[in-house]
């Protein structure tokens, strides 16, 4: 990777080099000192903001992220290149990839990125992340927090109007809280477990009381799109329209209002004239058409039938084709998720009953040797080339490169999982399987959508360790049951939409994590295997680190804890971390999509223009 | 045509007329459709059996550059994972033909058994089986296969079961119709009068005389089954092993069609040629065995 | 009349049996949709949702509820998104499937009849052989593959028709048709091959009959013989096929709707199967059953009315 990077840098002109050096240096300066507890982050959203997502990426790319995609050399046009004076008005037609319909826009039941991408243009939250994943005020203008970190007071924006003409007030925030904390209403009530109470101090002030301090409150819980539990909804409208209609055409306070929505046909958004920021939105009208198939989607943007692609990730095989098209702008940034292959520690030959011993001690056990061999033999570069056509970044942990500040750029060098075929072969031989002989055929559980990538994995293991894996393809509904019950040998599973370290660590890496085999002790399983104290991984020290970081307010201190937890989970092969996807925005050249709207995973159209 | 009505043999040949069979074979060998059909099918079967001699490559190995157009080295090009397409189609024939033949065998055995039992014994057995068959008859076979996969889940075994059950009713109907017309024939009555048991009569006397339309139906069903498997695979309801079936190869290649036409065209042609030969053969058989649609 | 009533009752029983079978079979399926729905959120919220949707009740109780609701015309609601009513989803899908079936029907009968007649009249000519081969090819190609080839040629390369999607007839007849031509062909072509073969053999049979020979010997011109005398009689079996053809066209459109991303019944069915959206699977299967069973019934009745040789017992 570094060699790759160096080669690119070597090919640059001295001027370009100087520029990159300068930007790299400043990138660290720009790293928000206070990414979460910035309290009022307005000073961070200064005029430089438009360049910051670019700079942050350069910073992140130091170790693992190929810089090629940031440079003109690779032919990718940076968002800045397309910049022009924003023209107001216009009708933007978007294709939403990989879906036949946008089933709902009600934040209480939204369960897919492609849904909250739309909702983020219609509804508001107290906060909204910016391109650096830093929370900024949305319906809240500023906030303060008590010494103990438990009581948060938010001042709300004045003169905000709902799409139906109602005036926005603190009562709406309280209503949303009460609605969302009830599991019967919202599938996201879990995000509010730490929020004990929300009260309106007056019309424009609300106070939240937490059970424990929470570092991720602004980014995870109160964020308008990804959080969903506190995306502010209008109680009157829900009452009068009914849930179904509100799910299709929610009344919000966002820059656009939904004027039409027919399932399977698309959503029409129109400019909301009374939006709190008179400068936004720029566009008059946005039409969003779901296009499930890859080829028609490509044809539509190439012919200009659509101007911009949102929804699920654009199929990687299309990107090279788009890059060659001067009518199109392709913008690739680090994605915010991790992908991995879980290795069931309850099954032979990769059995490990206790992950608490040190890595050196674990290395004495055959089960751990096998796990480590599998992790080290995984040729991430080849995998990314073959399975993703190069659109990915090698992964070594749950912390993704989009979380620039927390992301450990050296982990590809320091992790025990770093790629080394000879070492992997030696470990496997050591564990009793010289040249893969006698190694059982393990089943690799994956979804239909993941089958292609899994086939690449199978091939890599066949070549590098001379072992055979068999694919076990199950629909996601079935796979997740097996995952929760720990009924698999190997399982390809990952996460997307992770904006805060908690999304990786708390959800996946703790003994009590909700993805750590929560149903492993179902009655029938206990009968067969006995009580099992954890699912895929458990380390008492890691649990402690993760608990600590979750309540650590100081970002520098939190970063240290996050990175240590990440390192240990990587070294002890909590999972074979494979890659992080990159996030790619494709739009036509006549569309201006400013860098400050370039928030990973989202398609905020309030600043976009066409002309 | 699925619903052309029951197929029946005319005239109902008797067991003593067995010398009719060689004639049928001779006829078959004179029929051009049959010759072409059998020759092509034979070629396909032989090449898939000898696949490892014909192609030097491994159908699963991703050792080549991806999406190479057809060339002397890779006569049908390579796919999106760098596998040789010709080799994959060659090996894919195994699974596709296997699914076709096995499903039809299962559904023929079950259907014929049902039909004979219902036709011979009549009464509540007949009512019970026929109500079920009527239920199934109300739906196109492919829809039934989709329903069944919806219930059983995907995977090779489930797809085989689903398609087998979906085609069951055709066999049951035909057999029952034949049995009803043969049951009262003199030689059956004679066999019964000398005390032959039910199973003996059914297997020795009735089945051989009902076999012609069943053979025709079976032949044509193999082609339907291959198409059904391809359709299910395409919808994401099919076989999902790493071993390719033709339907799966097409389905997987969907997003590469414009960049690599060979990925879409050749497996489709493989299906078409196979199904075409089976249809040729089935059509010829129908004429030769003098089975017609009423 | 008694016969008619008996047949309607029979049809209702078939529909009930299908509904019941599907209901119980679906509940034996592995995979919990609620768990999957919440996978990225919070597995423990599952119980609340199950309770809300009545999925925590014993299966038999669920069945009774389902029966009661279905009889009241309430097919339940989708497990996903904004829980759209199944009946609404199906109501939106029906016009699309019917449009597709209609266009496919037109294609298959015009193509099939023409080819069949030409084949029979020019029996054993090169044209006949060519058309015969074409018909064989037609029934040997998977319809989705035809669809894909059509998209590549006519939508992607020639840009003559849109690659995917659907426009309702309210958007204008030309728009409606533009979107339906390729999928209509994909569904219709295999079927037209069957029609062609059927027409050809029926025509040949009729052309061999005495009255045709008689007509010819009377010196009637050939065109008149073919169109007035032969065709009319040959069409009888073809027309009977038309009735059941809708069932087959529907089965073809299940696949083709998925190629062209038309959200008709087929796509609703397949999507719901893939998502294990029970109520939608159940509702759409039930609706398809009703459609097919009553279509069969109608055809049967019509046939009996037209053809006096068939008795009512």
Q: pLDDT at position A329, please?
A: 95
pLDDT band for B23, please (50, 70, 90 cuts).
low
pLDDT band for A62, please (50, 70, 90 cuts).
very low
CB C218 within 8 A of CB C230: no
Q: Is pLDDT of B111 > 70?
A: yes
Q: pLDDT at position A272, please?
A: 96
Q: pLDDT at position A489, please?
A: 97
Q: Is pLDDT of C207 > 50?
A: yes
Give the domain C97-264 fold. Answer: MetI-like fold (1.10.3720)
Q: pLDDT at position A541, please?
A: 97
**Closest residue on chain A to B240 (Cα):** A473
Q: Please tell me the distance from the alpha carbon of residue B70 to that of residue B54, in angstroms, as a whole number.
A: 17
Q: Please tell me the distance from the alpha carbon of residue A403 to that of residue A32, in angstroms, as a whole number.
A: 11
Chain-chain contact of C82 with A248 (C-beta, under 8 angstroms): yes
User: Which token pair is B168?
Assistant: 């069951």
Q: Please tell me the distance from the alpha carbon of residue B66 to that of residue A342, in angstroms, as a whole number.
A: 28
Query: Does any CB of chain B come closer than 8 Å to the CB of residue C247?
Result: yes
The size of the A-B interface in CB pairs under 8 A is 48
Cα A560 to chain centroid distance, Å, stands at: 21
Same domain, A379 and A426: yes
C residues 182-221 near B, CB within 8 Å? 194, 198
Q: pLDDT at position C279, please?
A: 83
- Identify the domain boundary among A58, A83, A108: A83
Q: What percent of chain C has pLDDT over 90?
A: 14
Q: Is pLDDT of C172 > 90?
A: no
Q: pLDDT at position B2, please?
A: 37
| Tens of pLDDT, residues C15-63 | 888 888 888 887 776 666 666 666 555 556 667 767 766 777 788 888 8
Query: Does any CB of chain C come closer than 8 Å to the CB of residue A495?
Result: yes
- Identify the domain boundary among A83, A109, A139: A83
Q: C-alpha distances in angstroms, A170 versus A177, A243, A490?
A: 11, 22, 49
Looking at every residue in chain B, the average pLDDT score rounds to 83
pLDDT band for B4, please (50, 70, 90 cuts).
very low
Sign of CA dihedral C54, C59, C64, C67: positive
Which string of b and e fits A17-39 if b means at least 16 CB within 10 Å? eeebeebeebbeebbbebbbbbe
| Tens of pLDDT, residues C210-239 | 777 777 777 777 777 777 777 777 777 777
Of how many residues is chain B composed? 294
pLDDT band for B85, please (50, 70, 90 cuts).
very high
Q: pLDDT at position A41, please?
A: 29
Same domain, A140 and A95: yes
| Tens of pLDDT, residues A559-578 | 999 999 999 999 999 999 99
Q: Which of B59, B233, B255, B258 is the best mutation test for A, with the most CBs of A within 10 A?
A: B255
Q: pLDDT at position A13, please?
A: 59
Query: Does any CB of chain C come closer than 8 Å to the CB of residue B276?
Result: yes
Q: pLDDT at position A437, please?
A: 94
* DSSP string computed for A301-349: HHHTS-SEEEESPPPHHHHHHHHT-TTEEEEEEE-S-EEEEEE-TTSTT
CB B216 within 8 A of CB B150: no
User: Which token pair is A535?
Assistant: 């699912």
Chain-chain contact of C149 with B268 (C-beta, under 8 angstroms): yes
Q: Please tell me the distance from the alpha carbon of residue C283 to that of residue C268, in angstroms, as a whole number.
A: 10
Q: pLDDT at position C1, please?
A: 67
- Please list the residues that pair with A610 across neighbouring strands: A591
Is ipTM strictly over 0.85?
A: no
Better-scored residue on pLDDT, B23 or B167: B167
Query: Does any CB of chain C come closer than 8 Å to the CB of residue A213?
Result: no
Name A449's Cβ contacts closer than 8 Å, sequence gap at least 6. none
Q: C-alpha distances in angstroms, A278 versus A77, A126, A160, A589, B166?
A: 30, 19, 11, 26, 62
Distance from CA of C283 to the nearest CA of B (A): 12
- Identify the domain boundary among A28, A60, A83: A83
Q: Choose among A515, A507, A501, A517: nearest CA to A566.
A: A501
Looking at every residue in chain A, the average pLDDT score rounds to 84
Chain-chain contact of A448 with B81 (C-beta, under 8 angstroms): no
Of the ranges A291-305, A351-365, B13-27, B125-139, which one carries the lowest mean pLDDT score? B13-27
Q: Please tell me the distance from the alpha carbon of residue A489 to that of residue A351, in angstroms, as a whole number.
A: 10
Of the ranges A88-92, A475-479, B80-84, B175-179, which one carries the lowest mean pLDDT score? A475-479
User: Which token pair is A310?
Assistant: 């949102």
Which of chain A's residues have a Cβ under 8 Å away from the Cβ of B255? Answer: 294-295, 315, 317-318
Which of chain B's residues have a Cβ under 8 Å away from the Cβ of A315? Answer: 255
In the DSSP assignment, the letter for residue C202 is H
Chain-chain contact of B81 with A459 (C-beta, under 8 angstroms): yes
Q: Is pLDDT of B19 > 70?
A: no
User: Which token pair is A350?
Assistant: 């990769």
Q: Please tell me the distance from the alpha carbon of residue C112 to that of residue C102, in angstroms, as a whole number.
A: 15
Name C299's Cβ contacts closer than 8 Å, sequence gap at least 6. C240, C243, C244
Same domain, A276 and A402: no
Highest mean pLDDT (candidates B10-14, B107-111, B209-213):
B107-111
Q: Is pLDDT of A258 > 90?
A: yes
Query: Does any CB of chain A come closer than 8 Å to the CB of residue B154?
Result: yes
Q: Which of C30, C40, C161, C262 is the best mutation test for A, with the most CBs of A within 10 A?
A: C40
**Closest residue on chain A to B260 (Cα):** A317
Q: Is pLDDT of C103 > 90?
A: yes
Q: Is pLDDT of B93 > 60?
A: yes
Task: Give residue A237's domain range.
Answer: 86-327+589-610
CB A252 within 8 A of CB A139: no
Query: Does any CB of chain C come closer than 8 Å to the CB of residue A531?
Result: no
Chain-chain contact of C92 with A264 (C-beta, under 8 angstroms): yes
Q: pLDDT at position C308, please?
A: 53
pLDDT band for A432, please (50, 70, 90 cuts).
very high
A residues 466-485 near B, CB within 8 Å? 470-471, 473-475, 478
Better-scored residue on pLDDT, A398 or C26: A398
Better-scored residue on pLDDT, C271 or C116: C116
Q: Please tell me the distance from the alpha carbon of residue A340 to that of residue A492, in angstroms, as a whole number.
A: 6
Query: Does any CB of chain C come closer than 8 Å to the CB of residue B132?
Result: no
The size of the A-C interface in CB pairs under 8 A is 123
CB B275 within 8 A of CB B226: yes
Which of chain B's residues have a Cβ under 8 Å away from the Cβ of A474? Answer: 153
Better-scored residue on pLDDT, C152 or A370: A370
CB B262 within 8 A of CB B256: no
| Tens of pLDDT, residues A490-548 | 999 988 888 899 989 998 999 999 889 988 998 899 998 899 999 999 999 999 999 99
Distance from CA of A183 to the nearest CA of C (A): 6
List chain C domain ranges: 1-80+277-313, 97-264
Same domain, A599 and A577: no
Q: pLDDT at position A268, please?
A: 96
Same domain, A292 and A342: no
- Please list the residues that pair with A143 across neighbouring strands: A154
Q: Please tell me the distance from the alpha carbon of residue A350 to that of residue A365, in angstroms, as a whole number.
A: 10
User: Which token pair is A472?
Assistant: 């076990």
CATH number of the domain encompassing residue A205:
3.40.190.10
Chain-chain contact of C148 with B264 (C-beta, under 8 angstroms): yes
Looking at every residue in chain C, the average pLDDT score rounds to 81
Same domain, A147 and A182: yes
> Reading across the β-sheet that carries A151-156, which strands appear in turn?
A140-145, A151-156, A205-210, A195-202
Q: Choose among A284, A253, A285: nearest CA to A163.
A: A253
Which of chain B's residues have a Cβ under 8 Å away from the Cβ of A321? Answer: 259
Chain-chain contact of B258 with C254 (C-beta, under 8 angstroms): no
Same domain, A127 and A270: yes
Q: Please tell me the distance from the alpha carbon of residue B80 to that of residue C217, in angstroms, as a whole number.
A: 66
What angle, rounded to 10 degrees, do the helices at C143-150 and C231-259 form? 70
Q: Which of A220, A296, A311 is the best mutation test for C, with the most CBs of C within 10 A?
A: A296
User: Which token pair is A404?
Assistant: 């620039």
Distance from CA of B30 to the nearest CA of C (A): 18
- Please list the residues that pair with A231 across neighbouring strands: A125
Query: Does any CB of chain B come closer than 8 Å to the CB of residue A320?
Result: no
Q: Tokens 């940034």 belong to which residue?
A: A333
* DSSP string computed for A15-35: HHHHHHHHHHHHHHHHS-SST
Same domain, A419 and A469: yes
Cα B272 to chain centroid distance, Å, stands at: 14
Q: Please tell me the distance from the alpha carbon of residue A27 to that of residue A178, in angstroms, as a whole number.
A: 41
CB C280 within 8 A of CB C81: no
Q: pLDDT at position B114, please?
A: 92
Which of chain B's residues have a Cβ under 8 Å away from the Cβ of A471? Answer: 240-242
Chain-chain contact of A103 with C36 (C-beta, under 8 angstroms): no
Q: Please tell me the distance from the alpha carbon of residue B96 to that of residue B74, in angstroms, as a whole number.
A: 22
Question: Looking at the 3D structure of chain A, how many domains does it have?
Answer: 3
CB A126 within 8 A of CB A139: yes
Q: Is pLDDT of A325 > 80?
A: yes
The mean per-residue pLDDT over the stretch C97-101 comes to: 91
In the DSSP assignment, the letter for residue A79 is G
Chain-chain contact of B149 with C258 (C-beta, under 8 angstroms): no
Distance from CA of B49 to the nearest CA of C (A): 23
| Tens of pLDDT, residues A3-53 | 444 455 455 556 665 655 544 444 333 333 222 222 222 322 222 222 333
| Tens of pLDDT, residues A161-214 | 999 999 999 999 999 999 999 888 888 888 898 999 999 999 999 999 999 988
Q: Please tell me the distance from the alpha carbon of residue A569 to that of residue A510, in angstroms, as a whole number.
A: 10
| Residue A308 φ then ψ, to 5° | -155, 145
Which of chain C's residues have a Cβ under 8 Å away from the Cβ of A187? Answer: 37-38, 41-42, 45, 49
Same domain, A530 and A598: no
The mean per-residue pLDDT over the stretch B176-203 comes to: 82
State the maximum Cα–Cα separation within chain B, in Å, rounded to a whole number.
74
- Give the H/E segment covering residue B142: helix B141-152
Q: Is residue A332 part of a domain?
A: no
Same domain, A492 and A372: yes
Same domain, A64 and A166: no
């Amino acid at each position: 990777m570094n060699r790759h990077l160096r080669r690119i840098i070597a090919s640059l002109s001295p001027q370009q080099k100087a520029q990159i050096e300068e930007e790299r240096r400043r990138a660290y300066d720009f790293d928000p000192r206070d990414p979460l507890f910035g309290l009022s982050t307005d000073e961070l959203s200064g005029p430089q903001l438009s360049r910051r997502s670019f700079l942050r990426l350069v910073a992140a790319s130091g170790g693992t992220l190929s810089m090629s995609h940031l440079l003109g050399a690779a032919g990718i046009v940076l968002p800045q290149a397309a910049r022009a004076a924003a023209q107001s008005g216009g009708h933007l037609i978007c294709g939403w990839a990989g879906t036949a319909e946008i089933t709902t826009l009600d934040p209480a039941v939204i369960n897919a990125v492609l849904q909250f991408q739309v909702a983020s243009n219609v509804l508001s939250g107290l906060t909204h992340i910016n391109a650096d994943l830093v929370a900024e005020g949305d319906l809240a203008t500023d906030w303060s927090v008590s010494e103990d970190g438990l009581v948060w007071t938010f001042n709300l924006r004045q003169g905000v109007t709902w799409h139906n003409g109602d005036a926005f007030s603190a009562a709406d925030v309280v209503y949303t809280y009460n609605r969302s904390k009830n599991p019967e209403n919202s599938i996201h009530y879990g995000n509010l477990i730490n929020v004990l109470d929300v009260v309106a101090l007056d019309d424009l002030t609300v106070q939240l009381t937490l059970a424990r301090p929470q570092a991720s409150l602004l980014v995870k819980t109160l964020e308008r799109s990804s959080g969903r539990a506190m995306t502010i909804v209008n109680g009157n409208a829900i009452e009068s329209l009914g849930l179904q209609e509100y799910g299709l055409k929610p009344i919000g306070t966002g820059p656009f209002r939904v004027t039409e929505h027919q399932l399977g046909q698309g959503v029409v958004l129109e400019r909301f004239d009374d939006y709190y920021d008179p400068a936004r939105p720029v566009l008059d009208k946005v039409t969003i058409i779901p296009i499930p198939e890859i080829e028609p989607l490509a044809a539509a943007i190439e012919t200009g039938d659509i101007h911009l692609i949102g929804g699920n990730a654009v199929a990687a095989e299309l990107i090279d084709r788009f890059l060659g098209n001067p009518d199109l702008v392709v913008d690739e940034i680090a994605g915010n998720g991790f992908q991995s292959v879980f290795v069931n520690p309850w099954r032979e030959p990769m059995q490990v009953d206790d992950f608490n011993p040190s890595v050196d001690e674990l290395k004495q056990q055959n089960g751990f040797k096998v796990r480590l061999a599998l992790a080290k033999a995984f040729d991430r570069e080849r995998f990314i080339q073959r399975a993703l056509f190069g659109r990915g970044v090698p992964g070594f942990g749950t912390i993704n490169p989009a979380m620039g500040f927390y992301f450990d750029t050296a982990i590809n060098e320091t992790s025990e999982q770093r790629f080394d075929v000879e070492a992997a072969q030696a470990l496997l031989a050591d564990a009793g399987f010289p040249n893969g002989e006698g190694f059982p055929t393990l089943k690799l559980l994956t979804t239909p959508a993941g089958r292609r990538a899994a086939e690449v994995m199978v091939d890599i293991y066949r070549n590098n360790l001379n072992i055979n894996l068999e694919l076990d393809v199950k629909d996601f509904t079935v796979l997740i049951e097996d995952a929760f019950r720990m009924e698999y040998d190997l399982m390809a599973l990952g996460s997307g939409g992770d904006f805060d370290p908690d999304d990786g660590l708390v959800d996946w890496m703790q003994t009590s994590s909700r993805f750590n085999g929560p149903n492993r002790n179902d009655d029938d399983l206990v009968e067969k295997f006995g009580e099992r104290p954890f699912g895929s991984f458990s380390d008492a020290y890691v649990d402690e680190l993760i608990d600590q970081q979750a309540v650590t307010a100081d970002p520098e201190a939190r970063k240290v804890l996050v990175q240590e937890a990440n390192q240990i989970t990587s070294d002890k092969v909590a999972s074979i971390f494979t890659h992080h996807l990159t996030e790619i925005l494709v739009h036509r050249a006549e569309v201006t999509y400013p860098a400050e709207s370039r928030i990973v995973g989202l398609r905020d159209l309030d600043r976009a223009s066409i002309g | 045509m699925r619903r052309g009505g029951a197929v029946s043999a005319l005239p109902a040949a008797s067991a003593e007329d067995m010398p009719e069979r060689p004639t049928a074979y001779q006829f078959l060998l004179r029929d051009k459709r049959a010759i072409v059909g059998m020759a092509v099918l034979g070629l396909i079967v032989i090449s898939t059996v000898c696949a490892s001699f014909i192609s030097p490559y491994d159908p699963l190995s991703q050792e080549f550059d991806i999406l190479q157009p057809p060339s002397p080295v890779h006569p049908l090009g390579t796919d999106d994972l760098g596998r040789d397409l010709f080799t994959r189609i060659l090996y894919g024939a195994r699974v596709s033909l296997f699914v076709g033949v096995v499903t039809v065998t299962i559904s023929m055995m079950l259907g014929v058994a049902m039909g004979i039992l219902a036709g011979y014994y009549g009464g509540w057995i007949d009512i019970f089986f026929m109500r079920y068959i009527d239920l199934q008859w109300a739906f196109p076979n492919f829809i039934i296969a989709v329903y069944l996969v919806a219930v059983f889940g995907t995977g090779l075994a489930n797809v085989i079961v689903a398609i087998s059950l979906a085609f069951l009713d055709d066999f049951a109907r035909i057999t029952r119709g034949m049995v009803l017309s043969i049951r009262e024939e003199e030689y059956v009555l004679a066999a019964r009068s000398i005390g032959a048991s039910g199973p003996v009569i059914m297997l020795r006397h009735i089945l051989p005389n009902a076999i012609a339309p069943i053979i025709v139906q079976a032949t044509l069903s193999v082609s339907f089954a291959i198409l059904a498997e391809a359709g299910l695979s395409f919808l994401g309801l099919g076989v999902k092993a790493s071993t390719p079936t033709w339907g799966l190869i097409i389905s997987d290649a969907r997003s590469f069609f414009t960049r690599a036409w060979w990925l879409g065209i050749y497996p489709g042609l493989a299906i078409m040629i196979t199904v075409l030969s089976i249809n040729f053969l089935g059509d010829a058989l129908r004429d030769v065995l003098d089975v017609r649609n009423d | 009349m008694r016969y008619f009533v008996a047949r309607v009752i029979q049809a209702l029983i078939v529909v009930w049996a299908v509904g019941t079978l599907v209901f119980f079979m679906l509940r034996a399926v592995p995979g919990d949709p609620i768990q999957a729905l919440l996978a990225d959120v919070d597995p423990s919220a599952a119980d609340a949702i199950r309770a809300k949707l009545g999925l925590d009740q014993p299966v038999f109780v669920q069945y009774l509820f389902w029966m009661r609701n279905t009889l009241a015309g309430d097919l339940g609601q989708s497990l996903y998104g904004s829980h759209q009513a199944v009946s609404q989803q199906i109501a939106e899908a029906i016009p699309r499937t019917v449009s597709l079936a209609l266009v496919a029907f037109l294609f298959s009968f015009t193509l099939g009849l023409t080819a069949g007649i030409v084949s029979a009249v020019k029996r054993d000519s090169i044209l006949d052989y060519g058309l015969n081969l074409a018909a064989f090819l037609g029934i040997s190609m998977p319809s989705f593959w035809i669809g894909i080839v059509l998209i590549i040629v006519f939508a992607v390369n020639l840009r003559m028709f849109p690659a995917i999607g659907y426009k309702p007839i309210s958007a204008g007849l030309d728009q409606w048709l533009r979107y339906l031509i390729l999928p209509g062909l994909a569904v219709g072509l295999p079927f037209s091959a069957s029609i062609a073969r059927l027409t050809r053999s029926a025509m040949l049979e009729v052309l061999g009959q005495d009255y045709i020979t008689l007509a010819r010997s009377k010196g009637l011109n050939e065109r008149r013989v073919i169109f007035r005398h032969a065709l009319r009689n040959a069409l009888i079996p073809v027309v009977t096929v038309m009735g059941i053809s809708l069932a087959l066209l529907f089965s073809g459109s299940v696949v083709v709707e998925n190629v062209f991303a038309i959200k008709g019944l087929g796509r609703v069915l397949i999507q719901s199967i893939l998502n294990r959206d029970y109520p939608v699977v159940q509702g759409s299967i039930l609706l398809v059953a009703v459609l097919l069973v009553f279509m069969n019934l109608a055809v049967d009745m019509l046939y009996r009315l037209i053809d006096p040789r068939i008795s009512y017992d």
